[in-house]
A and B are shown apart, each in its own frame.
Chain A
C-alpha cells in the first residue's frame, strides 16, 4: 500500500461523500461526531462560546486569532505541510503537495516524507485548517494569507511571489518582450502571456534548457536567491548577467531597484522542494549516559528526601513569622537572599523551593494588616503524612503548576523585577512542557539519561517556536531546561534519568504506547486518536492513582528515620541518618546544626543549651533525653555543659511591674497584702519590704489611701515627690508662624530692586518697539470682568494685536505684561510675551484684566 493509496482509501477527515465539499462549512458538515469532537478538543477556543451551527463554527475556525492559535500548536512537519500548501496552487492536489515536500523525486526519492504526509495532512484536516478532497486540497483562506510569502512577511520557505503575482503591475509590452527573449511565441493578451511563462518555468525540462544557456555569473545570482530571501537589489543599469536574467523573466522587478526570484523558478532550482530541510520525522531523543536503574532510583530518592527536608527547613525558618509580602506581591530580593543563606542554597534554588511550597499549598500570605508569608494549615497536615506521600504531594504540585520559579530575578515586559511568590510568574505552557519532557524521558529505556539538546530539539519540532527560531532561548526551550533541572532537584529524575517513581507519576499511559513512529523513538507524536497534550493530561482520579503508585515505589527507597544519635566528647552529636521528628525537633533546639546531608551533625554550645532551657526544659529532662537517645554513654563534658548552663539559667529573673510599694516595716506590707480590698491593686511581694503592683502609681496611691494609708510618691531617685495640682503640659512647642493673606509686604530693599527690574523690563519692552506703551490705567493693574477679558483676548487672537494684561502668578505676585495672544483654549492663553520676549502660557483666571496698548487708544 503506497502512502497515496493509503491516504485516498482512508482520508483522515473527509467522508467519502459523493460530492466534494464546496466550503469549509460543508466539509465540516460531512464530518462525523468523533472527528468534530477531535477538532474541538484540539481547538477548544472554537466552543467558547458554543457556536450555533456549523457555518458559525466554520467561520470561527477561519478567524485570524483562532487560526494563529491552531498554527502555533502544530508540529514542525504539519506546519511545513501547511506552508507548502500556502505556496501551492489553490486548490492543490495531493500529488502537488507531495511534490513540494518530497521534491521532484517524489515518494521514491523521499519515502519518509511520503509516508509521513498523510498523517500531517490528517492533522491539518482534523484541525479544520485544510479541507477538500485529495484532488482539491484547500488551506483555510486565513491560514493561506498568513503563510503565503509576501514582502512584509517572508515565509519560512524562502519563496517569492509567483510569476503571475510578480508581473501583475507590469506593462503588457514588457511581458511580451520577456516571452520573446525566452523564445516563446507572443500572445494577444497579458493573461495568456503570463500563463505561457508560468508553464515554461514549471516545466523542468524546458527551464533547464533555458538555464543551460545562462552565463555562469547569472547562475551564481540565482543560487544566492534560491533559498531565500528571494529579493535582491539591482542598480538602474544592471550588469549584463543580471540583464540576461531580467530579460528572460528569471528575475522580475518588484519595485525600482528591487528584483525577485519568481516562485516557479525557485522551485525549479530547488527541484521542487518548498523547504530547504523537510523534517517529516521528530528528531530522536539521544541518550547521554545510561546508569543502573537502581542507582538512578536511589539517587532520585536521596534527592526526594532532600526535597522534603528542605521544604520543612524552609517553613521552620518561617515558623515564627515569615518575610513580609511586598506591596506588589511576592518576596523581596533581600528576603529571598536571607532565605537562601538560611537554607545554604543559591538564590535560584531557594526560589524554586519557596515556589514549590507555595504551589503545593503549604505556604501562603496570611492576609493580615502586616501581610506576611507563613505556613498554611495544610502544611501541618502534610507533615503528618508518610514521607513518600509527602513527596508525591510536592511532585504532583510541581507537575501541574503554571508558576515557573525559573523566571524569578528576571524582568517582565515593563522591566519590573519578577519576585518569588510575586505576580507575573505564571506560564500556562509550563505544566504541558514539564509533562512532555517527562514523557520523553519515560520513552527512553530505564536508566538512560538524555542530552538536553536532543530534548530541546524534539520539543521544538513538536511545537516550533514562532518565527521558526532555533536559538533555544524561546519560552518553551527555557521551560524545558527548567523542567529538567527541577526534576533532578525534586528527585523525579536521578542522575538525569527518569526514576521508577517519577515514571509512575506520569500514569500508566507511556507503557502502552503503540509502536515507534521514528528512529529510536518509542512515542508517537500524533497518531490518529492521540490525546492532546494540554496541561496535565491525567484526570484527577488518574493523578491520584499515579501518585499513590509513585509513593509505593518511593517509600522503600527513603531512609528509615532513626531514634538515636551518637554523642561525642567534642560536644557534637551525629545523627547517622534522618531522625524521627520529635527527636529531631528537640535536638534542633538543644544543639546547633553544623552540617546536613545524609546525616546531621549537631554541636552543643552554651547558647544552644540555654535555648533548650528557655524552651522550658530542665537540666534533668535534657540529661534523660540524651541518655535515652544516645547509643553511646553521654560524654562527661556534655553533662557538665548542660549542668553548667542550667546552674546559671534563671538565676536572674526579669518581670514587669508598673509601680511598687516599699516600707521598712514588713508588718504594714503584711497588712496590705491581707486586706481584701487591695486585691484590685494586684500586689505581689518581691522581698520582705517590697511589693510590686500591676497598677499605675497614681491608682496605687489612691488605692492605698482608700485603705487608710498615707503613702507618698517616690521619684526614680527615691526622693519623695511633693504632690501638686495636676497641670497638664505639652512637650515644648514653638508658637505658630503667622500666615499673611497674600504675599508679604516687601521691604525697602526689595521694593527698590523690584522697581529697578520693572523699569528695565519696561524699557526693554518699549524702547525697541515704538508701538508699545504704558497701559491706559497707568501703573495700576488693568481690571476687567472675566467675560470682557476673554472677549478681548479672543479678539486679539483674531486681529493679531497686542494687549496689556495684569497677571498674578502662582506665588501671588502681580505684574503687567504686554502680550500678543496666539491661542485661547482650555482656560489658558498662549501668547507672545513682549516683556519677557518669549512665548508663554497664562491662566485666564489669573489675568486681572486687559487693556489696549496706549498708542492704539484713541
Chain B
C-alpha cells in the first residue's frame, strides 16, 4: 500500500513524481484529472466534473476512474468520493444532441425526469424549440454551443453526437523536408483530431504553430486562423508557407490593413472585435467560407465577442492553442466548453527535458527603494502605487548592469510603462517597440534583432505573444500588467526557443522590495513556479556589487 498517488478530500490528487509508478499513474489519471501544478516533487491534479465528463466523452467509464484511483492511491480512498465520482460521471450522456433527419438538431434523453428538469430551467427555455416526443425536443442549430454550455452549468452535460461539417475541402500537406513533427506534436494532433475539437496546451517555443499546421494537414479543408496581432499573423503565414504545401497565394491576411479571404485565412482578434455602430462588421468572416477548421491561437486571450460567436460555430472543428490556460477572469471553463476540452497538455519541464525548449534560469532581482522613494511610495494614491514602485530609478541601474553583464547576447527588456521604457531605451541606446510603433517598423526591428544587428531591444507588452525571436537569450522584465500569471509565462516564453548552441536562457524579473510590486511578482510567478521553474532571488546590491 504505497502507491504514488494521494487522494485529498477536496478532490485534488497529489502525485509523487519520484515514485517508480509515477509514470503509470500519470497515464492512468490523465484522462480525467486536470494537471494543476507541476513543481519539483509533487504534482497536483484536480478532479472536476468537467474533467470527468470529458473522460466520459473520450470513452472512459466510472469504473476505470475508480480503479485508477484505488490502484495507485497510497491511502484508502474515501468511499464518499468514489461514489461522488461515479454519480457525477453518470450524469453525462443522459442527454444527447443528435441530428434528426426531419427535425434537425434534437436534444434526446434516456431519463425523462432529467429532460423535464432542464426544460424547466429559465436559461434552457429560450434555446429549445418544439417538443417532438416525451423524450426529445428540437434545438435551434445556432444554439448548439449555447445549450451545451448552459446544460454544462446545470450539471447535465449533453453528449454531442451531431458531428462536424467537413467544410470546403482544400489540399494541405505537411512538407517534412529535413524536419518532422516531434513526438509530442504528433500526439497533440492525433488527440485533437480524434476528439474533434479541443485545446492543445504546449509551452511557449514548443512549436504550437506546427500543431496547427499538422491539424490542417489532417483536416485538408479551408481553415480560418485567429491570432493576436498582425506580426503574429505574418509569422503564421511565413511558417505555413515554409512547412506545408500551401503557397503564399493560398493564404490570406485579414487584418486592419488587408482584408483578404483565401482558402486559409489568418485574422486578428482585434479586427474581429472592431465594433462599428454597435455591430461587429467583421464577424461575418466566420460565415464567409465553409471553413472546415478554425484555429484559435493564444486561446487564453480569446475576447468575449469571439466567445459568443464561437458558441454558434459548434458544427465546425475548433482547435485552441495556448501555452498558459490561465485567465485572470476565470473563464477557463468557457474555453473548455466552447472550443472543446483540453486534448493535450505537456508540462513545460517535460518538453525542456526533451530538449525542445531551452532551460531557463529565472531570477528575481530585488531592488530597494531609496528613502525618498519610500516616502513617496507611502504617500502615493492607491492606483498609482504599482506604477510608482515598478518604475523606480534603481531598476534602471539594475537593468543597465544586467545588460552589461550579458553584453554580446541578444537581450530583450520588457516593461509595462512607456515612459520607463523610453528612458531605458535612451540609457541603453536601444530601440523601443511600443503600441505606437508601426507594423513595418516593428518587423524591421525584429528582423534586425534576429539578424543580430541589434543586440538589445526594449519592448512593451505588444511583444508579449507570438513573437518569434529565436536568438533572444536574456529577458529582463522591469514591470508588468500587475499580477498576470500568463504574461509572466509568455514573457519567459520569448527566450525559450532552443538556442543554436544549446545554452541556457536567462529571465530576470526586477522587483521593488517591500512594495506591492513584490506581491504582484509573487502572484505572477505562481504559474511558472507550478510548472517547476524555481525562481532564484537576488539582491540588487549583490548584483551591482558584482558589477563594480
Q: What residues of chain A have their CB less than 8 Å away from a CB belonging to chain B?
A: 295, 298-299, 301-303, 306, 344, 488, 494-496, 559, 566, 568-572, 574, 576-577, 595-599, 601, 632, 635-637, 640, 644, 648
Contact = CB atoms under 8 A, between A and B. Distances in A.
B8 A595 contact: yes
B74 interface: yes
A601 B12 CA distance: 10
Interface hub of B1, B74, B76 (most chain A Cβ within 10 A): B76
A494 B37 contact: no
List the 5 closest A-B pairs by CB distance, nearest first. Answer: A597-B8, A302-B76, A569-B534, A598-B75, A570-B529
Contacts of A595: 8-10, 12
Given A574-B42, A599-B14, A632-B41, A302 B75 contact: yes
A599 B3 CA distance: 13
Given A570-B39, A576-B42, A597-B9, 13 more contacts: A302-B76, A344-B9, A570-B529, A574-B42, A576-B14, A577-B6, A595-B12, A597-B6, A597-B10, A598-B74, A632-B40, A632-B41, A637-B364
B79 A494 contact: yes
A302 B529 CA distance: 32
Contacts of B522: 571
Given A568-B40, A569-B39, A648-B514, A303 B78 contact: yes
A572 B39 contact: yes
Contacts of A576: 6, 14, 16, 42, 74
B7 interface: yes
Contacts of A596: 8-10
A598 B16 CA distance: 13
A473 B120 CA distance: 30
A306 B78 contact: yes
A637 B532 CA distance: 13
* Range class of the B interface residue count: 35 or more
Contacts of A569: 39-40, 529, 532-535
Interface in B43-86: 44, 73-79
B173 interface: no
A245 B41 CA distance: 89
A360 to B, nearest CB: 22
A644 B364 CA distance: 14
11 contacts: A302-B76, A306-B9, A496-B79, A569-B532, A569-B535, A572-B37, A574-B14, A595-B8, A596-B9, A596-B10, A597-B12
A488 B534 contact: no
A798 to B, nearest CB: 74
Contacts of A496: 79
B526 interface: yes
Contacts of B16: 576
Contacts of A559: 75
A495 B79 CA distance: 6
B8 A570 contact: no
A637 B78 contact: no
A636 B529 CA distance: 12
Contacts of B39: 568-570, 572
A570 B526 contact: yes
B530 interface: yes
B536 interface: yes
B165 interface: no
A489 B75 CA distance: 16
A576 B16 CA distance: 9
Contacts of B535: 569, 636-637
A306 B75 CA distance: 11
B130 interface: no
Contacts of A344: 9-10
Contacts of B75: 302, 559, 577, 597-598
Interface string B490-523: 0000000000000000000000011000000010
A640 B537 contact: yes
Contacts of B44: 601
A559 B532 CA distance: 29
A598 B37 CA distance: 18
Contacts of B529: 569-571, 637
Nearest to A345: B9
A308 to B, nearest CB: 14
A173 to B, nearest CB: 64
Contacts of A568: 39-42
Nearest to B533: A569
Contact of A598 (B73, B364, B513, B532): B73
A299 B514 CA distance: 48
A577 B14 contact: no
A294 B471 CA distance: 59
Contacts of B534: 569, 635-637
B41 A574 contact: yes
A306 B77 CA distance: 11
A292 to B, nearest CB: 11
A302 B79 CA distance: 10
Contact of B78 (A302, A577, A599, A601): A302
B14 A301 contact: no
A601 B44 CA distance: 10
A570 B78 contact: no
B173 to A, nearest CB: 43
A571 B521 CA distance: 13
Contacts of A601: 8, 12, 14, 44
Contact of B6 (A495, A570, A598, A632): A598
Contacts of B73: 598
A571 B535 CA distance: 11
Contacts of B40: 568-569, 632
A492 B232 CA distance: 62
Contacts of B526: 570
B79 A488 contact: yes
Given A572-B39, A577-B74, A636 B536 contact: yes
B22 to A, nearest CB: 13
Nearest to B83: A495
A484 to B, nearest CB: 13
Given A566-B42, A574-B14, A640-B537, A599 B76 contact: no
A644 B75 CA distance: 37
Contacts of B12: 595, 597, 601
Contacts of B76: 295, 298-299, 301-303, 494
B444 to A, nearest CB: 40
Contacts of B77: 299, 302
Contacts of A632: 40-41
Nearest to B5: A598
Nearest to B38: A570
A576 B4 CA distance: 10
Nearest to B534: A569
Interface in B183-210: none
Most A CB contacts (10 A, CB to CB) among B12, B37, B39, B522 go to: B39
A506 to B, nearest CB: 21
A570 B42 contact: no
A640 to B, nearest CB: 4
Contacts of B6: 576-577, 597-599
A570 B38 CA distance: 9
Contacts of B1: 298
A571 B533 CA distance: 12
Nearest to B530: A570
Contacts of B7: 597-598
Contacts of B42: 566, 568, 574, 576
A570 B42 CA distance: 11
A319 B16 CA distance: 34
Nearest to B14: A599
Contacts of A306: 9, 78
A306 B78 CA distance: 9
A214 B77 CA distance: 69
A637 B530 CA distance: 13
Among B8, B16, B514, B532: residue with most chain A CB under 10 A:
B8
Interface string B6-42: 1111101010100000000000000000000101111
Contacts of B37: 570, 572
